Amino acid sequence: MAKYRTTDAASGQGLFLTVNLQEQLLPDTFEYMLDKLIGGKIDLSIFDLRYKNDLTGASAVPPSVLLKLFIYGYYTGNKSSRKISELNRNNIIAKALTGDMKIHWTTIADFISCSSEEIENIFEKVMMYCNELGLIGVETFAIDGLRLPSNASIEMSGTKEQLKKRHALYRKMAEKHLSRHRLKDETGETDLEAKKHFQERQKYLNRQIEKLDSFLETMDVKVWRSGEEIQSNVTDNESAMLHSTKGFIQGYIGLAVSDQKNQVIVSQCAGSRNSK
């Protein structure tokens, strides 16, 4: 009877392999170009001003590593800091771009949210380098756009009058909620779990009231050319209520301009119909 070799592959057993990270970045790929460009050809010294740890403090994650990681994350469709951090843990290309550096999602989030001016500067340098290489034809451009949701609740949008009504509604809800809570406490009907639920609900209502209080005090009414008032948003007043295929969203219109010669994106912006 024939005798054959057996394998552990079917059992799902893992393997320990020696991996050369640089060999994972193959020439003529997006990630190879990204690795050579960021921190190589493009000067990133503009980020140095953000750090004050030359004498004391822990070493920071290099800006070149963070730039490569979040650009590759966006390129692969991972747009949240948590998803990008997860990509860095599990994706071999991401590991190669970061040198297998362990990066917490809060570090990624802080870098993206606080470095908009520096990142815009780097974008301009990349465009200049592309022009040096003759990749931009400067003859025909195409414009495309999409609707981007913002981190703002559509429920907190409205005209000044509508927001005042919502503020009054939240106050009424908070008072009614507190009265019910006190009544149940007096009759001894409230158990610990119900009491916790009441407290969390009351905190939520109080937060909404405080947000509306603060916003309404300094609110500038925006109007169309026709004189009709534009809805404002308490959380993100630069965003707008937009109609999408999934209904209405609170967000922005993202626009990109690409050059015909090599489809290089030469300009981009995110705005709204509320933008001045």
What is 139-201 written as a DSSP string?
A: S-EEEEEEEEE-SS-GGGEE-HHHHHHHHHHHHHHHHHHHHHHHHHHHHT---HHHHHHHHHH
Domain residues for the domain of 22 are 17-133
Let me know if residue 128 belongs to a domain.
Answer: yes
Cβ pair 34, 26 in contact under 8 A: no
Cα–Cα distances in angstroms (integers) from residue 143 to residues 33, 65, 254, 276, in the given order = 24, 30, 10, 20
Last-in-domain residue among 220, 239, 262 = 220
Q: Above 70 in pLDDT, residue 203?
A: yes
**Separation CA 5–CA 255 (nearest Å):** 58
Mean pLDDT, to the nearest integer, of 75-85? 92
Residue 61 contacts residue 103 (beta carbons within 8 Å): yes
Q: Tell me if 226 is assigned to some domain.
A: no
pLDDT value at 174 more than 50: yes
Residue 190, pLDDT score:
62
pLDDT at 247: 82
pLDDT tier, 197 (very low <50, low <70, confident <90, very high otherwise):
confident
Residues 67 and 22 in one domain: yes
Query: 35 and 103: one domain?
Result: yes
Q: How high is the pLDDT of residue 1?
A: 79
Residue 116's pLDDT band (cuts 50, 70, 90): confident
CA gap 83, 174 in Å, rounded: 37
Q: Is 7 a domain residue?
A: no
Quick check: 142 pLDDT over 90?
Answer: yes
pLDDT at site 274: 53
Q: What confidence score (pLDDT) does residue 202 get?
A: 85
Residue 94: its pLDDT value, please? 95
**Following DSSP, what letter does each residue of 24-77 receive, concatenated?**
GS-TTSHHHHHHHHBTTTB--GGGGGG---SSSSPPPPPHHHHHHHHHHHHHTT
Give 127's contacts (C-beta < 8 A, 6+ positions apart).
Answer: 136, 264, 266
Residue 225 lies in a domain: no
Residue 150 has pLDDT above 80, yes or no: yes
| pLDDT beyond 70 at 189 | no
pLDDT at 276 over 50: no
SS3 240: strand
Distance CA 74, CA 80 (A): 9
Same domain, 178 and 47: no
Do 229 and 241 form a contact (C-beta atoms < 8 A)? no
Query: How long, in residues, is the chain?
Result: 276
237 and 145, same structural domain? yes
Evaluate whether residue 72 is within a structural domain.
yes
Percent of the chain predicted with pLDDT > 70: 94
Which pLDDT score, from 0 to 100, does residue 19 have? 85
In whole angstroms, what is the distance from residue 134 CA to residue 30 CA? Answer: 18
In a domain? residue 122: yes
Task: For residues 255 and 129, state if they share a domain.
Answer: no
Residue scoring higher pLDDT (245 or 142): 142
Average pLDDT of the segment spanning 69-79: 92
Q: What mean pLDDT is reported for the chain?
A: 87
Do 21 and 110 reside in the same domain of the chain? yes
Q: How many domains does the chain have?
A: 3
Euclidean distance between CA atoms 72 and 87, whole angstroms: 9
Amino acid at 261: K
Whether residues 266 and 146 fall in one domain: yes
Q: What is the pTM assigned to this prediction?
A: 0.67
- Are 275 and 146 part of one and the same domain? yes
Residues 144 and 242 in one domain: yes
Q: Once rounded to an integer, what is the mean pLDDT over residues 147-169?
A: 88
Does residue 198 lie within any of the structural domains?
yes
Separation CA 115–CA 134 (nearest Å)? 29
Is the domain of 144 the same as that of 275? Answer: yes
Give a yes or no: residue 262 inside a domain: yes
**Statement to judge: residues 164 and 152 lie in one domain:** no
Residues 261 and 151 in one domain: yes
